[in-house]
Structure 1
Amino acid sequence: MTNQPVVTTLTTVLGQTFRLYVQSHGYHWNVEGPQFRQLHKMFEAQYQNLWGALDEIAERIRVQGAYAPASVADLMSHAAPEADPAHSAAEMVTKAIAEHEAIATTLREAISTVTDAGDDVSAGLLTDRLAWHEKEIWMMRASTR
């Protein structure tokens, strides 16, 4: 039996994760400047982590008895609009921090929703995702000081 609030919540997290994956990958390709190597590697680690998370989240939607979004348009319909492109390394980091903060906010709400629905497994998955995003925010902020 499908638990619609859980499915809706997981689908929103999936859409936002996909958008951040694309953004991080684009930053990896296009970053320039004196911190190139460090930022290139950081964005690569981020997009690789996000790629793996997409599979986990989509499979959790399937466990709920629902179909996961199966097209780019469908995935993007569950995410906030894309930010304007960033061109400098500093702007990329600033925008990445903002995007990780936005998904962290979504994850906190999602954890509450799935916990209220009694879905401890989804709550654990989302809590792990939140911990990763919070650590990325901390590391990116520290790199800007």
Structure 2
Amino acid sequence: MKAKKLDVSKIDIGISEKDRAAIAAGLSKLLADSFTLYLMTHNFHWNVTGPMFNTLHTMFMDQYTEQWNALDIIAERIRALGVVAPGSYEEYEKLTTIPAVKSRPKALEMVALLVSAQEATARTAREMLPLADKANDQPTMDLLTQRLDVHEKTAWMLRSLLEE
């Protein structure tokens, strides 16, 4: 008897195509926010000046490095769900919730902008949790929980620099 050929072109991971598409759409927004936050943080790392230069320069480097590594994790989850991950400035600009910084802010303004961007990214991740939970998508829930922890903790640390 001839063995039946497997159809590997269809994704059958226990999450419906509709739910996979919706989750991937939300993760695409998270990817756009994460990339925008990465770029903002790296820009501030390059351009920070003033008495807090060394502290902020180093802190921003740690943050953009963490953010850079997260981009791959988010994009690969989108791909695992069977959807093409967005990857252009144009796509990110349409999807992000973080406004572009069009000026050269002073050091503490940079910190305040990063607090806002970290919190926006956390909100985007949090909005996805009910959908991932409903679809029984534990890998996405785990990714979202990890991202929430990073963004909330980073926002707290940055905000602490702004207190008198």
TM-score range, shorter chain: over 0.9
Count of equivalent residues? 145
Counterpart of 1:122 in structure 2 is: 140
Q: Tell me the TM-score normalized by structure 1.
A: 0.94
Residue matched to 1:99: 117
| TM-aligned CA distance change 1:83 to 1:117, over 3 Å | farther
Unaligned runs of 5+ in 2: 1-10, 12-16
Whether the 8 Å CA contact 1:24–1:46 is kept in 2: the answer is: yes
Q: SS at 1:75's partner residue?
A: helix
Q: Which of 93, 104, 108 does residue 76 from structure 1 map onto?
A: 93
The letter of the residue matching 2:117 is E
Q: Which has the higher helix share?
A: 1
How far apart are the structure 1 equivalents of 2:113 and 2:87?
27
Q: After TM superposition, list the pairs within 5 Å mapping 1:127-142 onto structure 2.
A: 127-142=145-160
Q: For each residue in 1:62-84, what CA deviation from the matched residue of structure 2 results, as whole angstroms up to 9, or x when unmatched?
A: 00001111322122221134144
2:68 to 42, 51, 55: 51
SS of the aligned residue for 1:85 comes to: coil
Amino acid at match of 2:47: N
CA radius of gyration, larger in: 2
Q: Which blocks of at least 5 consecutive residues in structure 1 are unaligned?
A: none
Q: CA deviation at 1:58?
A: 0.2
| Contact kept in structure 2, 1:17 and 1:50, CA below 8 Å | yes
Deviates more, 1:55-64 or 1:132-141: 132-141
1:87 correspondence with 2:102: no
Following the alignment from structure 1 to structure 2, what is the Cα–Cα distance between the partners of residues 112 and 131?
A: 17
Q: SS in structure 2 opposite 1:129?
A: helix
Work out whether residues 31 and 89 of structure 1, in 8 Å CA contact, stay in contact via their aligned partners in 2.
yes
Pairing 1:27-66 to 2, within 5 Å after superposition: 27-66=44-83
